[in-house]
Amino acid sequence: MSFTAIILAAGKGSRMKSSLAKPLHKIAGQEMIAWVIDAANAAGATSIIPVISRDTADLEQYLENNLAGSAIAIQEQANGTAGALMAALPLIQNTTQPIIVLYADTPFIDSTIISNLTTNIQSGTDICVLGSTIDNPTGYGRLLVSSAGTLQAIIEESEASEAHKSITNVNAGIMAFNGNILAQMLQQIEPANSKNEYFLTDIVSIGARNNLKIDYFLAEQDSVIGINTLEQLAEAEAMAQKRLRSAAMLSGVTMMAPETVFLRKDTCFGNDVIIEPNVTIAAKVKIGDGCHIRSFCYLEECEIGNYNVLGPYARIRPGTVTSQDVKIGNFVEIKKATLGKGAKVNHLSYIGDSLIGDKVNIGAGTITCNYDGYNKFVTEIGHGAFIGSNTALVAPVKIGEQSIIGAGSTITQDVPDNALSVSRSDQRTIKQGATKFRSKKKANR
């Protein structure tokens, strides 16, 4: 459904105790405001207008990079939520469609709720308020409903009487408007409150006086929680993780101890994936069918092919792409590398900036020396090559197909196909040398 979404993001967020703009704090690896933008887009927003303050350059830069083509409104003065909406009015291009007001610090609003608000306005309602029922409503604005069930006003906590404070139906902040009446109603809001701010909630009582059609509906509390402190951010992270784990398991992912697995909002799983305890999956990770992720693995910005076995204690870094039947074992770090079908890096190795062919076997302790202190270089290993344990491959270097590198070698030159390359000193054995060494040491005590 077509509508304009206005996302209020100009709050100072002083209770976060952070120099980072509050909407940029992340939940499940994604900025809070990104959760809201995604929900608005999923519901069919034709225009999204964020409202920010002048002193949040980091937020402005983020929006310019991630919300291309959208205008950004600036709230010059911290004069309340209605003041923020007034700042967005000049940027609204179509007032004949519904206008939905969202909040950057209410990340769990979903597209279904937004669509319901839009439908309510399209059916003839002028103002529709989203609320929730909360056992302990302290801090929230209360929904003042008449005996006939009509929403009459929203009473802010700071303005509420003791009788009002007993009301458990509270304002979630999110509202929908008939675009044709919004500007006129905003102009009637006065800063007649203890904070001398323009409260958007006053638009309900103003609308009632003007005989507008006003409606409300209640959503689950989890969908409308607001984030104002780092403690609340941690609580929201726990909620998001629970949702993501549940969704993954419902789609066929096996988790042995789901409470110990951490996901991101954009994690993609194939079928029949098994995840052992204490696994962290960071942003931009795709895991193919039939993969087994063993304990204490950490994955980020990588694409794991079908039927891979990772870990335990494997670290898969950005830019890594693996093919089918790859094995990456314990204490292996892979960074910006492509591994071919059936490749194995089973233990204690670092593989960076590398192109690894099919059925390559990389022995324990192998290191691709990809950095000279100034630039990164690529190591190429051909199909079927065998890299012996404790090998250093000094990039740029190419190891040919079906070649063998002897254990303990330092390879600085290209190795042709089917060659055997060994680079180490000849072994020297001194008979009774150990006995003589110990005797000398004892004599010098």
Beta strands in 190-311 (DSSP E): 214-218, 254-255, 268-269, 274-275, 280-281, 285-287, 292-293, 298-299, 302-304, 309-310
- The amino acid at 18: S
- Structure-token pair, residue 223: 């969908």
Q: How far is CA 76 from the centre of its chain?
A: 30
Determine which one of 25, 164, 292, 347 is catalytic: 347
Alpha-carbon gap, residue 414 to 301, rounded angstroms: 30
Beta strands in 344-428 (DSSP E): 344-347, 350-356, 361-362, 367-369, 379-381, 386-387, 392-394, 397-399, 404-405, 410-411, 420-421
Of 322, 84, 116, which is closest to residue 203 (Cα–Cα)?
A: 84
Alpha-carbon gap, residue 86 to 4, rounded angstroms: 14
Q: Coil, strand, or helix at residue 234? A: helix
Owner of token pair 């398991």: 249
DSSP letters, 114-183, are: HHHHHHHHHTT-SEEEEEEE-SS-TTSPEEEE-TTS-EEEEE-GGG--HHHHT--EEEEEEEEE-HHHHH
Owner of token pair 């989890």: 222
Pair type for strands 285-287 and 397-399: unpaired
Indicate if 347 belongs to the active site.
Answer: yes
Alpha-carbon gap, residue 61 to 73, rounded angstroms: 13
Catalytic residues: 347
